[in-house]
């Protein structure tokens, strides 16, 4: 049986990382914008919104704790993504670039609020709506008992996360709500991976102190 010759000193080709569907679509949108076909770019961009909207709402709500503010922050982020899509670097995860933009939109909204004490307020109707949103994403058909347990646990966790220092709150949200790795959070926030891990460790330690080891 014939074998493929191996050249001395040659290394096997490295496998190309598989990009997410969102990254592929974002590259297509950029190509259409660069080509001047903005109508087609808008149409293709709708697919990108559908891919990212639920995740974006989940992250924005954890920052803002208000469904209306979260929705507006997400819409602002999508607008900025489309306007600046030519700055997206193909071959890199779109999610990291988009998360950086979304976090900045959320922080801008927080800075513009006249009543920062809303982070410390008791759960409101908006909190319950947000809890249902996260619950629906995580479990499409939960039982009534499961809904009650998830909602109560969500209230406890959201209230505890709300009083964390800003950096700890940001890192915990991106790692444990959005599911980002410390390296991805570092790229999205500008912090070093080591700093991200320190903030995450401190956040979890404080939350466990408030909520118990079941966190």
**Structure confidence at residue 56 (pLDDT):** 92
pTM of the model: 0.58
Mean pLDDT by runs of 10 across the 215 residues of the chain is 46 60 94 94 93 91 86 92 93 88 87 49 46 47 56 72 83 80 83 87 84 63
The full set of domain ranges for the chain reads: 19-114
Decide if 70 contacts 42 (C-beta within 8 A).
Answer: no
Tokens in use for 22? 């969102």
Residue listed under structure tokens 């559908």 = 50
Q: Which CATH number fits domain 19-114: 1.10.10.10, 3.30.2310.20, 3.40.50.1360, 1.10.1740.10?
A: 1.10.1740.10
Given the structure tokens 């507006």, which residue do they identify? 72
Q: Find tokens 């993504």 and name the residue.
A: 81
Contacts of 93 (CB under 8 A, 6+ apart): 19, 20, 23, 184
């Amino acid at each position: 049986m014939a074998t493929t010759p191996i050249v001395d000193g040659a290394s096997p080709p490295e496998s190309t990382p598989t990009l997410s569907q969102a990254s592929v679509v974002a590259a297509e949108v950029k190509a259409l914008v660069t080509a001047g076909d903005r109508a087609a770019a808008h149409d293709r961009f709708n697919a990108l919104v559908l891919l990212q909207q639920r995740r974006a709402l989940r992250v924005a709500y954890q920052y803002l704790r208000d469904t209306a503010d979260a929705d507006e922050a997400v819409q602002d982020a999508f607008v900025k993504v489309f306007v600046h899509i030519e700055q997206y670097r193909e071959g890199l995860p779109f999610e990291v670039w988009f998360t950086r933009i979304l976090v900045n939109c959320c922080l801008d909204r927080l800075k513009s609020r006249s009543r920062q004490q809303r982070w410390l307020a008791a759960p409101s109707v908006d909190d319950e709506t947000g809890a249902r949103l996260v619950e629906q994403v995580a479990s499409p058909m939960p039982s009534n008992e499961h809904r009650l347990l998830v909602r109560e646990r969500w209230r406890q966790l959201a209230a505890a996360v709300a009083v964390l220092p800003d950096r700890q709150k940001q890192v915990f949200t991106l790692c444990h709500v959005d599911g980002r790795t410390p390296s991805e959070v570092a790229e999205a926030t500008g912090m070093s991976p080591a700093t991200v891990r320190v903030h995450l460790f401190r956040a979890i330690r404080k939350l466990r102190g408030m909520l118990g080891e079941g966190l």
